[in-house]
Protein backbone atom coordinates (compact mmCIF):
# COMPACT_ATOMS: atom_id res chain seq x y z
CA UNK A 1 0.00 0.00 0.00
CA UNK A 2 0.93 3.59 -0.47
CA UNK A 3 1.95 5.71 2.55
CA UNK A 4 -1.03 6.63 4.71
CA UNK A 5 -2.69 9.93 4.11
CA UNK A 6 -5.49 10.61 6.57
CA UNK A 7 -8.89 10.71 4.90
CA UNK A 8 -10.84 13.91 5.00
CA UNK A 9 -14.01 13.73 7.12
CA UNK A 10 -16.15 13.59 3.99
CA UNK A 11 -14.38 10.43 2.86
CA UNK A 12 -14.99 8.56 6.07
CA UNK A 13 -17.67 5.92 5.67
CA UNK A 14 -20.65 6.45 7.92
CA UNK A 15 -20.28 3.02 9.49
CA UNK A 16 -16.54 3.21 10.11
CA UNK A 17 -15.75 1.31 13.25
CA UNK A 18 -12.00 1.20 12.90
CA UNK A 19 -11.78 -2.57 13.08
CA UNK A 20 -10.73 -5.14 10.55
CA UNK A 21 -14.16 -5.49 9.00
CA UNK A 22 -14.11 -2.06 7.39
CA UNK A 23 -11.52 -2.67 4.69
CA UNK A 24 -12.58 -6.25 4.08
CA UNK A 25 -16.25 -5.39 3.75
CA UNK A 26 -15.47 -2.47 1.51
CA UNK A 27 -13.44 -4.63 -0.87
CA UNK A 28 -16.14 -7.32 -0.85
CA UNK A 29 -18.78 -4.71 -1.68
CA UNK A 30 -16.74 -3.33 -4.56
CA UNK A 31 -16.05 -6.83 -5.88
CA UNK A 32 -19.72 -7.72 -5.55
CA UNK A 33 -20.70 -4.89 -7.86
CA UNK A 34 -18.41 -5.94 -10.69
CA UNK A 35 -20.25 -7.44 -13.63
CA UNK A 36 -18.19 -10.34 -14.99
CA UNK A 37 -17.44 -10.28 -18.70
CA UNK A 38 -19.30 -13.54 -19.28
CA UNK A 39 -21.22 -16.40 -17.73
CA UNK A 40 -19.85 -19.52 -16.05
CA UNK A 41 -21.76 -21.61 -18.60
CA UNK A 42 -23.48 -20.98 -21.91
CA UNK A 43 -25.09 -22.98 -24.66
CA UNK A 44 -27.99 -23.51 -27.01
CA UNK A 45 -28.73 -24.73 -30.52
CA UNK A 46 -25.75 -24.84 -32.88
CA UNK A 47 -27.54 -24.37 -36.18
CA UNK A 48 -24.29 -23.43 -37.93
CA UNK A 49 -22.68 -26.83 -37.32
CA UNK A 50 -23.00 -29.20 -40.29
CA UNK A 51 -23.00 -32.98 -40.18
CA UNK A 52 -19.30 -33.71 -39.54
CA UNK A 53 -19.52 -37.02 -41.45
CA UNK A 54 -18.11 -38.72 -38.41
CA UNK A 55 -16.76 -42.25 -38.72
CA UNK A 56 -15.69 -44.58 -35.93
CA UNK A 57 -12.78 -46.78 -37.00
CA UNK A 58 -13.92 -50.33 -37.62
CA UNK A 59 -17.62 -49.54 -37.65
CA UNK A 60 -18.18 -48.78 -41.32
CA UNK A 61 -20.71 -46.08 -42.15
CA UNK A 62 -20.76 -42.47 -41.13
CA UNK A 63 -22.77 -41.81 -38.02
CA UNK A 64 -26.25 -40.71 -39.02
CA UNK A 65 -27.60 -37.19 -38.58
CA UNK A 66 -29.60 -37.71 -36.44
CA UNK A 67 -27.70 -40.68 -35.06
CA UNK A 68 -29.95 -43.77 -34.88
CA UNK A 69 -29.98 -45.60 -31.56
CA UNK A 70 -29.18 -48.87 -33.36
CA UNK A 71 -25.97 -47.32 -34.66
CA UNK A 72 -24.94 -46.28 -31.14
CA UNK A 73 -25.51 -49.86 -30.03
CA UNK A 74 -23.47 -51.12 -33.00
CA UNK A 75 -20.51 -48.90 -32.05
CA UNK A 76 -20.61 -50.21 -28.48
CA UNK A 77 -20.98 -53.83 -29.68
CA UNK A 78 -18.00 -53.41 -32.04
CA UNK A 79 -15.62 -52.83 -29.15
CA UNK A 80 -14.60 -49.40 -30.50
CA UNK A 81 -16.09 -47.80 -27.39
CA UNK A 82 -15.09 -48.55 -23.83
CA UNK A 83 -16.79 -47.67 -20.58
CA UNK A 84 -16.01 -44.04 -19.78
CA UNK A 85 -13.90 -43.76 -16.63
CA UNK A 86 -13.66 -40.87 -14.20
CA UNK A 87 -10.94 -39.57 -11.92
CA UNK A 88 -10.98 -40.54 -8.26
CA UNK A 89 -8.07 -38.82 -6.56
CA UNK A 90 -5.00 -39.90 -8.49
CA UNK A 91 -6.74 -42.96 -9.91
CA UNK A 92 -8.98 -43.40 -12.94
CA UNK A 93 -11.84 -45.79 -12.29
CA UNK A 94 -15.01 -47.03 -13.95
CA UNK A 95 -18.19 -47.27 -11.92
CA UNK A 96 -21.54 -47.20 -13.70
CA UNK A 97 -23.19 -45.87 -10.54
CA UNK A 98 -21.17 -42.65 -10.98
CA UNK A 99 -20.68 -42.53 -14.72
CA UNK A 100 -22.63 -44.67 -17.14
CA UNK A 101 -21.55 -43.87 -20.67
CA UNK A 102 -19.21 -45.15 -23.36
CA UNK A 103 -16.29 -43.34 -24.87
CA UNK A 104 -14.59 -43.45 -28.24
CA UNK A 105 -11.15 -41.79 -28.17
CA UNK A 106 -10.18 -39.26 -30.87
CA UNK A 107 -7.66 -41.74 -32.27
CA UNK A 108 -10.60 -43.85 -33.51
CA UNK A 109 -12.52 -40.95 -35.03
CA UNK A 110 -12.37 -39.25 -38.41
CA UNK A 111 -14.63 -36.53 -39.75
CA UNK A 112 -14.77 -36.06 -43.49
CA UNK A 113 -16.79 -32.88 -43.89
CA UNK A 114 -14.24 -30.16 -44.76
CA UNK A 115 -16.67 -27.51 -43.47
CA UNK A 116 -16.68 -28.96 -39.95
CA UNK A 117 -13.45 -27.46 -38.56
CA UNK A 118 -14.30 -23.92 -39.69
CA UNK A 119 -17.84 -24.14 -38.32
CA UNK A 120 -16.53 -25.52 -35.03
CA UNK A 121 -14.00 -22.67 -34.79
CA UNK A 122 -16.90 -20.21 -35.14
CA UNK A 123 -18.78 -21.97 -32.37
CA UNK A 124 -15.69 -21.96 -30.14
CA UNK A 125 -15.31 -18.20 -30.69
CA UNK A 126 -18.96 -17.68 -29.70
CA UNK A 127 -18.48 -19.88 -26.64
CA UNK A 128 -15.36 -17.93 -25.63
CA UNK A 129 -17.26 -14.64 -25.83
CA UNK A 130 -20.16 -16.07 -23.84
CA UNK A 131 -17.76 -17.19 -21.09
CA UNK A 132 -15.97 -13.86 -21.15
CA UNK A 133 -12.63 -15.34 -22.14
CA UNK A 134 -9.97 -13.55 -24.15
CA UNK A 135 -9.54 -14.46 -27.83
CA UNK A 136 -7.28 -17.26 -29.05
CA UNK A 137 -9.34 -20.01 -27.47
CA UNK A 138 -8.88 -23.42 -29.02
CA UNK A 139 -10.86 -26.66 -28.73
CA UNK A 140 -9.16 -30.05 -28.58
CA UNK A 141 -11.34 -33.11 -29.08
CA UNK A 142 -11.28 -35.28 -25.97
CA UNK A 143 -13.94 -37.95 -26.49
CA UNK A 144 -17.03 -39.04 -28.32
CA UNK A 145 -19.44 -40.08 -25.57
CA UNK A 146 -22.36 -42.45 -26.06
CA UNK A 147 -25.21 -42.65 -23.55
CA UNK A 148 -27.79 -45.45 -23.53
CA UNK A 149 -31.11 -45.41 -21.69
CA UNK A 150 -30.25 -44.95 -18.02
CA UNK A 151 -26.87 -43.45 -18.92
CA UNK A 152 -25.76 -40.52 -16.76
CA UNK A 153 -22.78 -38.80 -15.15
CA UNK A 154 -22.97 -37.79 -11.48
CA UNK A 155 -21.95 -34.31 -10.34
CA UNK A 156 -18.23 -33.67 -10.84
CA UNK A 157 -15.76 -31.09 -12.05
CA UNK A 158 -13.46 -31.62 -15.01
CA UNK A 159 -9.74 -32.02 -14.51
CA UNK A 160 -7.42 -29.86 -16.56
CA UNK A 161 -6.25 -32.47 -19.02
CA UNK A 162 -3.86 -30.31 -21.01
CA UNK A 163 -1.87 -27.14 -20.30
CA UNK A 164 -4.02 -24.05 -20.66
CA UNK A 165 -7.30 -25.94 -20.36
CA UNK A 166 -9.90 -23.79 -18.64
CA UNK A 167 -13.20 -25.24 -19.75
CA UNK A 168 -15.17 -27.85 -21.61
CA UNK A 169 -17.29 -27.66 -24.74
CA UNK A 170 -19.97 -30.28 -25.30
CA UNK A 171 -21.51 -30.65 -28.76
CA UNK A 172 -24.62 -32.80 -28.64
CA UNK A 173 -25.26 -34.48 -31.97
CA UNK A 174 -28.86 -34.79 -33.06
CA UNK A 175 -30.38 -38.04 -31.79
CA UNK A 176 -33.60 -39.14 -30.16
CA UNK A 177 -33.56 -39.31 -26.38
CA UNK A 178 -35.32 -38.06 -23.26
CA UNK A 179 -33.78 -37.05 -19.94
CA UNK A 180 -30.02 -36.64 -20.23
CA UNK A 181 -30.01 -32.95 -19.30
CA UNK A 182 -26.66 -31.33 -18.55
CA UNK A 183 -26.77 -29.07 -15.49
CA UNK A 184 -23.82 -26.83 -14.60
CA UNK A 185 -23.51 -25.06 -11.23
CA UNK A 186 -21.41 -22.19 -9.96
CA UNK A 187 -21.95 -20.87 -6.45
CA UNK A 188 -25.69 -20.42 -6.05
CA UNK A 189 -26.39 -20.47 -9.77
CA UNK A 190 -27.28 -23.32 -12.10
CA UNK A 191 -27.81 -23.63 -15.87
CA UNK A 192 -29.47 -26.61 -17.51
CA UNK A 193 -28.92 -27.58 -21.14
CA UNK A 194 -31.52 -29.99 -22.44
CA UNK A 195 -29.94 -30.90 -25.75
CA UNK A 196 -31.68 -31.33 -29.05
CA UNK A 197 -34.32 -33.93 -28.23
CA UNK A 198 -35.63 -33.46 -24.74
CA UNK A 199 -39.11 -34.45 -25.84
CA UNK A 200 -38.31 -37.47 -28.00
CA UNK A 201 -38.75 -35.49 -31.21
CA UNK A 202 -36.56 -36.32 -34.16
CA UNK A 203 -33.98 -33.53 -34.07
CA UNK A 204 -31.85 -32.18 -36.85
CA UNK A 205 -29.94 -29.44 -35.03
CA UNK A 206 -26.96 -30.11 -32.76
CA UNK A 207 -26.68 -28.23 -29.48
CA UNK A 208 -23.71 -26.94 -27.55
CA UNK A 209 -22.82 -26.15 -23.96
CA UNK A 210 -19.58 -24.66 -22.66
CA UNK A 211 -18.54 -24.11 -19.07
CA UNK A 212 -15.53 -23.44 -16.89
CA UNK A 213 -13.99 -26.75 -15.90
CA UNK A 214 -14.09 -25.99 -12.17
CA UNK A 215 -17.89 -25.65 -12.24
CA UNK A 216 -19.67 -28.73 -10.99
CA UNK A 217 -21.86 -30.39 -13.61
CA UNK A 218 -23.89 -33.55 -14.10
CA UNK A 219 -25.83 -35.39 -16.76
CA UNK A 220 -29.18 -36.69 -15.50
CA UNK A 221 -30.20 -40.24 -16.46
CA UNK A 222 -31.62 -40.79 -19.92
CA UNK A 223 -35.17 -42.04 -19.60
CA UNK A 224 -35.19 -43.23 -23.22
CA UNK A 225 -33.13 -43.16 -26.40
CA UNK A 226 -29.45 -42.52 -27.02
CA UNK A 227 -27.38 -39.37 -26.46
CA UNK A 228 -24.23 -38.76 -28.50
CA UNK A 229 -21.84 -35.93 -27.62
CA UNK A 230 -18.46 -34.69 -28.71
CA UNK A 231 -16.50 -33.39 -25.71
CA UNK A 232 -13.75 -30.83 -26.34
CA UNK A 233 -11.17 -29.39 -23.95
CA UNK A 234 -11.23 -25.59 -24.21
CA UNK A 235 -7.70 -24.20 -24.02
CA UNK A 236 -6.07 -20.78 -24.10
CA UNK A 237 -2.48 -19.61 -24.05
CA UNK A 238 -1.29 -19.85 -20.43
CA UNK A 239 -0.42 -16.16 -20.20
CA UNK A 240 -3.63 -14.88 -21.75
CA UNK A 241 -2.41 -14.40 -25.30
CA UNK A 242 -1.77 -11.12 -27.08
CA UNK A 243 -3.69 -9.09 -24.59
CA UNK A 244 -1.37 -10.05 -21.76
CA UNK A 245 0.63 -6.92 -21.16
CA UNK A 246 3.80 -7.41 -19.19
CA UNK A 247 4.08 -5.05 -16.27
CA UNK A 248 6.42 -4.89 -13.33
CA UNK A 249 4.66 -5.33 -10.02
CA UNK A 250 5.67 -3.73 -6.78
CA UNK A 251 8.32 -6.32 -6.04
CA UNK A 252 9.93 -5.93 -9.40
CA UNK A 253 8.46 -9.19 -10.68
CA UNK A 254 7.08 -9.18 -14.18
CA UNK A 255 3.49 -10.30 -14.42
CA UNK A 256 1.12 -10.42 -17.34
CA UNK A 257 -2.00 -8.33 -16.88
CA UNK A 258 -5.26 -10.24 -16.86
CA UNK A 259 -6.74 -10.31 -20.36
CA UNK A 260 -9.81 -8.38 -19.38
CA UNK A 261 -11.27 -4.99 -20.12
CA UNK A 262 -14.39 -3.38 -18.81
CA UNK A 263 -13.53 -2.71 -15.18
CA UNK A 264 -14.23 0.94 -16.10
CA UNK A 265 -15.29 3.10 -13.18
CA UNK A 266 -14.32 0.57 -10.55
CA UNK A 267 -10.72 1.83 -10.48
CA UNK A 268 -11.96 5.21 -9.19
CA UNK A 269 -13.90 3.44 -6.44
CA UNK A 270 -10.86 1.29 -5.64
CA UNK A 271 -8.61 4.35 -5.54
CA UNK A 272 -10.93 5.92 -2.96
CA UNK A 273 -10.92 2.66 -1.02
CA UNK A 274 -7.11 2.62 -1.09
CA UNK A 275 -7.00 6.14 0.36
CA UNK A 276 -9.42 5.20 3.15
CA UNK A 277 -7.49 2.05 3.98
CA UNK A 278 -4.20 3.94 4.02
CA UNK A 279 -5.71 6.49 6.39
CA UNK A 280 -6.53 3.84 8.97
CA UNK A 281 -3.70 1.39 8.53
CA UNK A 282 -1.95 2.57 11.69
CA UNK A 283 -4.83 1.40 13.84
CA UNK A 284 -3.78 -1.87 15.46
CA UNK A 285 -6.93 -3.63 14.32
CA UNK A 286 -6.73 -2.57 10.69
CA UNK A 287 -5.33 -5.34 8.48
CA UNK A 288 -2.30 -4.56 6.41
CA UNK A 289 -3.18 -7.33 3.96
CA UNK A 290 -6.43 -8.84 2.79
CA UNK A 291 -7.11 -12.36 1.65
CA UNK A 292 -9.68 -12.41 -1.09
CA UNK A 293 -11.21 -15.78 -1.93
CA UNK A 294 -11.46 -16.25 -5.65
CA UNK A 295 -14.83 -16.92 -7.23
CA UNK A 296 -13.50 -19.85 -9.28
CA UNK A 297 -11.27 -22.71 -8.24
CA UNK A 298 -7.81 -23.06 -9.75
CA UNK A 299 -5.25 -25.78 -9.74
CA UNK A 300 -1.65 -25.00 -8.83
CA UNK A 301 -0.70 -25.51 -12.48
CA UNK A 302 -3.67 -23.60 -13.85
CA UNK A 303 -3.56 -20.41 -11.81
CA UNK A 304 -1.93 -17.24 -13.10
CA UNK A 305 -2.75 -13.61 -13.87
CA UNK A 306 -3.55 -14.59 -17.43
CA UNK A 307 -5.76 -17.52 -16.54
CA UNK A 308 -8.15 -16.02 -14.02
CA UNK A 309 -11.80 -16.60 -14.84
CA UNK A 310 -14.88 -14.40 -14.91
CA UNK A 311 -15.19 -12.04 -12.00
CA UNK A 312 -11.73 -12.96 -10.71
CA UNK A 313 -10.12 -11.70 -13.91
CA UNK A 314 -12.13 -8.50 -13.79
CA UNK A 315 -11.33 -7.73 -10.16
CA UNK A 316 -7.64 -8.46 -10.69
CA UNK A 317 -7.59 -6.19 -13.73
CA UNK A 318 -9.33 -3.42 -11.78
CA UNK A 319 -6.99 -3.72 -8.79
CA UNK A 320 -3.95 -3.73 -11.03
CA UNK A 321 -5.18 -0.67 -12.89
CA UNK A 322 -5.81 1.35 -9.75
CA UNK A 323 -3.30 4.16 -9.36
CA UNK A 324 -1.73 4.91 -6.00
CA UNK A 325 -2.88 8.10 -4.32
CA UNK A 326 -1.08 10.85 -6.18
CA UNK A 327 0.20 8.37 -8.76
CA UNK A 328 -0.48 8.69 -12.45
CA UNK A 329 -1.37 5.11 -13.28
CA UNK A 330 -1.83 1.62 -11.93
CA UNK A 331 -0.73 -1.83 -12.97
CA UNK A 332 2.89 -1.40 -12.07
CA UNK A 333 5.14 -0.01 -9.40
CA UNK A 334 2.88 3.06 -9.14
CA UNK A 335 -0.22 1.01 -8.34
CA UNK A 336 -2.29 1.34 -5.20
CA UNK A 337 -2.14 -2.34 -4.23
CA UNK A 338 0.50 -5.00 -3.89
CA UNK A 339 -1.09 -8.05 -5.48
CA UNK A 340 -0.09 -11.68 -5.15
CA UNK A 341 -1.64 -14.85 -6.45
CA UNK A 342 -1.05 -17.32 -3.69
CA UNK A 343 -2.41 -20.40 -2.09
CA UNK A 344 -2.58 -19.98 1.64
CA UNK A 345 -3.32 -22.83 3.99
CA UNK A 346 -4.95 -21.71 7.21
CA UNK A 347 -5.67 -24.16 9.98
CA UNK A 348 -7.44 -22.45 12.81
CA UNK A 349 -7.92 -23.94 16.25
CA UNK A 350 -11.44 -23.87 17.63
CA UNK A 351 -12.34 -22.50 21.00
CA UNK A 352 -9.60 -19.99 21.57
CA UNK A 353 -11.42 -16.71 20.91
CA UNK A 354 -9.55 -16.03 17.72
CA UNK A 355 -9.08 -12.50 16.51
CA UNK A 356 -7.72 -12.92 12.99
CA UNK A 357 -6.75 -9.26 12.82
CA UNK A 358 -4.09 -9.90 15.45
CA UNK A 359 -2.51 -12.73 13.55
CA UNK A 360 0.93 -12.21 12.30
CA UNK A 361 1.63 -13.99 9.08
CA UNK A 362 3.59 -16.60 10.95
CA UNK A 363 1.78 -16.31 14.26
CA UNK A 364 -1.42 -18.28 13.96
CA UNK A 365 -3.67 -18.81 16.94
CA UNK A 366 -2.83 -21.76 19.09
CA UNK A 367 -4.98 -23.66 21.47
CA UNK A 368 -7.25 -26.60 21.98
CA UNK A 369 -7.48 -29.80 20.01
CA UNK A 370 -6.70 -29.26 16.38
CA UNK A 371 -9.50 -29.07 13.91
CA UNK A 372 -9.33 -27.65 10.46
CA UNK A 373 -11.93 -24.97 10.36
CA UNK A 374 -10.98 -22.54 7.70
CA UNK A 375 -9.03 -22.63 4.53
CA UNK A 376 -8.44 -19.36 2.86
CA UNK A 377 -6.38 -18.13 0.03
CA UNK A 378 -5.51 -14.89 -1.55
CA UNK A 379 -6.11 -15.13 -5.27
CA UNK A 380 -5.99 -18.89 -5.22
CA UNK A 381 -8.31 -21.67 -4.17
CA UNK A 382 -8.46 -23.05 -0.71
CA UNK A 383 -7.02 -26.50 -0.39
CA UNK A 384 -8.97 -27.90 2.48
CA UNK A 385 -8.41 -31.20 4.17
CA UNK A 386 -5.32 -32.98 5.26
CA UNK A 387 -3.94 -33.09 8.73
CA UNK A 388 -4.63 -30.03 10.87
CA UNK A 389 -1.54 -28.03 11.58
CA UNK A 390 -0.78 -24.94 13.54
CA UNK A 391 0.80 -23.04 10.75
CA UNK A 392 -0.28 -20.52 8.22
CA UNK A 393 1.69 -21.00 5.06
CA UNK A 394 1.58 -19.16 1.81
CA UNK A 395 2.75 -20.35 -1.55
CA UNK A 396 3.06 -17.87 -4.32
CA UNK A 397 1.22 -19.36 -7.26
CA UNK A 398 2.36 -17.00 -9.97
CA UNK A 399 5.15 -16.34 -10.23
CA UNK A 400 7.22 -18.18 -7.64
CA UNK A 401 8.36 -15.47 -5.32
CA UNK A 402 8.77 -14.76 -1.63
CA UNK A 403 5.87 -12.93 -0.11
CA UNK A 404 6.63 -9.75 1.81
CA UNK A 405 3.89 -10.53 4.30
CA UNK A 406 5.96 -11.33 7.34
CA UNK A 407 4.27 -9.69 10.31
CA UNK A 408 1.34 -8.45 8.25
CA UNK A 409 -2.04 -8.31 9.91
CA UNK A 410 -4.17 -10.35 7.57
CA UNK A 411 -7.92 -10.34 7.43
CA UNK A 412 -9.31 -13.70 6.43
CA UNK A 413 -12.87 -13.93 5.12
CA UNK A 414 -15.20 -15.91 7.39
Interacting residue ranges for Fe ion, rule: CB under 5 A: 158
| Residue 276, contacted partner among Fe ion, ligand AKG, none, CB below 5-8 A by kind | none
Residue 79 buriedness (CB in 10 A; 0-12 / 13-18 / 19+): exposed
Residues 142-181 that bind ligand AKG (CB under 6 A): 145, 153, 158, 170
Nearer to ligand AKG, 214 or 276 (CB): 214
- What is the C-alpha to C-alpha distance for residues 380 and 300, in angstroms, rounded to an integer? 8
66 upstream amide cis, omega within 30 of 0: yes
Axis-axis angle for helices 266-280, 310-321 (nearest 10): 60
- What is the C-alpha to C-alpha distance for residues 108 and 335, in angstroms, rounded to an integer? 52
Closest approach, Cβ 101 to Fe ion, in A, equals 11
Nearer to ligand AKG, 21 or 220 (CB): 220
- Helix (H, G, I), strand (E, B), or coil: what is residue 127? helix
Residues 203-222 that bind ligand AKG (CB under 6 A): 217, 219
* Angle (CA) 261 279 276, round 5°: 35
| Residue 222, contacted partner among ligand AKG, Fe ion, none, CB below 5-8 A by kind | none
Closest approach, Cβ 168 to Fe ion, in A, equals 6
| Residue 76, contacted partner among Fe ion, ligand AKG, none, CB below 5-8 A by kind | none
Which of 184, 229, 354, 412: binder of ligand AKG (CB under 6 A)?
Answer: 229
The CA-atom distances, in angstroms, between 313 and each of 39, 214, 253 are 13, 15, 19
Cβ 41 vs Cβ 375: under 8 Å: no
- What is the C-alpha to C-alpha distance for residues 280 and 18, in angstroms, rounded to an integer? 7
Nearer to ligand AKG, 86 or 283 (CB): 86
| 30 lines the binding site for ligand AKG (CB under 6 A) | no
Nearer to Fe ion, 145 or 270 (CB): 145
Nearer to ligand AKG, 231 or 293 (CB): 231
Which of 182, 260, 291, 354: binder of ligand AKG (CB under 6 A)?
Answer: 182
Axis-axis angle for helices 266-280, 21-33 (nearest 10): 180
Q: Tell me the helix, strand and coil percentages in the chain, rounded to 5.
A: 20, 25, 55
Closest approach, Cβ 106 to ligand AKG, in A, equals 13
- What is the C-alpha to C-alpha distance for residues 356 and 354, in angstroms, rounded to an integer? 6
Closest approach, Cβ 145 to ligand AKG, in A, equals 5
Which residues lie near ligand AKG (CB under 6 A)?
Answer: 145, 153, 158, 170, 182, 217, 219, 229, 231
Amino acid sequence: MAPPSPPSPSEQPATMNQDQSFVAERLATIAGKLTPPGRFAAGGPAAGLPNPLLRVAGVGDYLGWPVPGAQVEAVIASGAATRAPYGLGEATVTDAAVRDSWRVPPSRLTWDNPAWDGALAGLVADAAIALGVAPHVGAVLHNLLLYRPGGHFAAHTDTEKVAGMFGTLVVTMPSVYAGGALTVRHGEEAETFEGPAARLEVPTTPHWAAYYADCEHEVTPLTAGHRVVLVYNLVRPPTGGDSAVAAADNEGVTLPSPPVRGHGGSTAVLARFAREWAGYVDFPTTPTALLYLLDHKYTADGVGWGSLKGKDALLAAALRATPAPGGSGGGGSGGAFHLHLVTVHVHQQLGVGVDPAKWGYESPPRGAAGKTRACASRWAPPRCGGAPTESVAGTAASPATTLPLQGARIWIPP
